[in-house]
Amino acid sequence: MISFGPTEEQELIRDTLREFATGEVREVSRPSDEASQIPSELLEKVWELGLVNSAIPEKFGGGGMERSPVTNAIVLEELGYGCVSLAAAAVAPSLFVQPLLDFGTDDQKAEYLPLFTTSNYHVASLALEEPSFVFDLANLKTLAEVKGDGYELSGTKRLVPMGDRASHFLVVARAGTRQGLDDLEAFIIPRNAPGLTIRSEPEKTMGLRSLPFAQLDLDRAAVNKTNRLGGEAGIDGSRLVNSCRLGSLALALGLSRAVMELSIPYAQERIAFGQPIAQKQAIAFRLAEMQIEVNSMRWLILKAASQLEQGLDATRAATLAQTYVTRETMKIADNGVQIFGGHGYIRDYPIEMWYRNARTLTVLQGVCAL
């Protein structure tokens, strides 16, 4: 018998994180946004849940669970339901760990995975985005050139999550003359590597204000050949990109659901012209559309995540999901503001914060990974 529902284990994870996100994450989301700061206590609490190190093999000190992009999509939806900024910060180490699990050599895994199996939050990040109006993952400007028995990396990376404190960076660069995602390679670089400069001033963004972003300048940064992710085999650029895209989309799904679930009771309780605004046709249609769109987003994301989990090429499914989810997330966030009216504009309600976060999240890639 075919089942399209979550397993019992996935249901337990979902329910646990839903309670955590609704309570502890949501409670500190507004103060964190106002202060543009991540509370370290929350990072430690999320770390204790084992969301990052659970899939690390036991021989490296991890939980030894099977790596599951579908489970990760469920996790990110629930955390995004609480706050996408805090969620992205809490799981930022997965930007380094997941590609390492997928593509790393045995030596690379033995050297770096134990960093993430201690009792304290440890972060490394992924440097993917570049400061260009025509930024294209299929044609990165950051280059990796062979020099002696290693590589030299030159270019600029920006909007690197948690880059202000990451111990290592997985820098994605173009390594040859081929076009498209097949030419992408990733290199493990410690934050103190010669030729790497981390700008001290955090990048300011419209949304995700509590998530610190850093800019990296690479000036012929030397990288040993042993730090090319995957060694001579390299990486599957399409899989890496799809994993990053879907991670961000899962967060956007959680945010969209949060907008919907706050808008419905508000519309039922808000009285205008003698009746609840939920009884107005224009409002009722918007609420109905939210429900349709949220459920459609989830199925698109889970389908692409399932293909990743099966080792299939998920590019088409991930692209369809990205096109739909980014468009509908902004539509839902905007409708939420409209339903709340003046209350959607002032800061007494989280709707305006969620709108800003939606706008920022839907134009970024590499915020988190499945």
- Provide the token pair at 262: 């706050």
Can you give the CATH number for the domain in which 307 is found? 1.20.140.10
pLDDT tens sequence across 282-339: 999 999 999 999 999 999 999 999 999 999 999 999 999 999 999 999 999 999 999 9
User: Judging by beta carbons within 10 Å of its beta carbon (0-12, 13-18, 19+), is residue 1 exposed, middle or buried?
Assistant: exposed
Q: How much of the chain exceeds pLDDT 90, in percent?
A: 81
- Look at the alpha carbons of 32, 35, 38, 44 in this order and tell me if their dihedral is positive or negative: negative
Give the number of domains in the chain. 3
Say if strands 184-190 and 168-174 run parallel, antiparallel, or are unpaired: antiparallel
pLDDT tens-place string over residues 234-245: 999 999 999 999
Q: How far apart are CA 15 and CA 18, in angstroms?
A: 5
In a domain, 288, yes or no: yes
3-state secondary structure 100-123: HHHHCCHHHHHHHHHHHCCCCCCC
The answer to whether 145 and 152 are in contact (CB under 8 A) is yes
User: Read out DSSP for 291-346?
Assistant: HHHHHHHHHHHHHHHHHHHTT---HHHHHHHHHHHHHHHHHHHHHHHHHHTHHHHS
Band of the pLDDT at 5, cuts 50, 70, 90?
confident
Q: Which of 233, 255, 281 is the last residue of a domain?
A: 233
pTM: 0.94
- Do 153 and 213 fall into the same domain? yes
Instruction: Give me the phi and psi of 140, to 5 degrees please.
Output: -65, 150
pLDDT of residue 182: 81
Question: Quick check: is 30 in a domain?
Answer: yes
Q: Which of 116, 151, 180 is the last residue of a domain?
A: 116
In a domain, 222, yes or no: yes
Phi, psi of 190 (to 5 degrees): -70, 155
Domain range holding 143?
A: 125-233
Which tokens is 32 given?
A: 């964190």
Q: In this structure, are 303 and 354 located in the same domain?
A: yes
95 & 62 share domain: yes
Q: Which two tokens stand for residue 224?
A: 């040993």
Of 60, 89, 116, the one marking the end of a domain is: 116
pLDDT band (50, 70, 90) for residue 202 = confident
In a domain, 2, yes or no: no
Between CA 129 and CA 138, with CA 133 as vertex, the angle to 5 degrees is 55
Give the 3-state secondary structure of residue 181. helix
132/199 same-domain check? yes
pLDDT band, very low/low/confident/very high, at 177 (cuts 50, 70, 90): low
Residue 273 burial (CB count, 10 A): 6
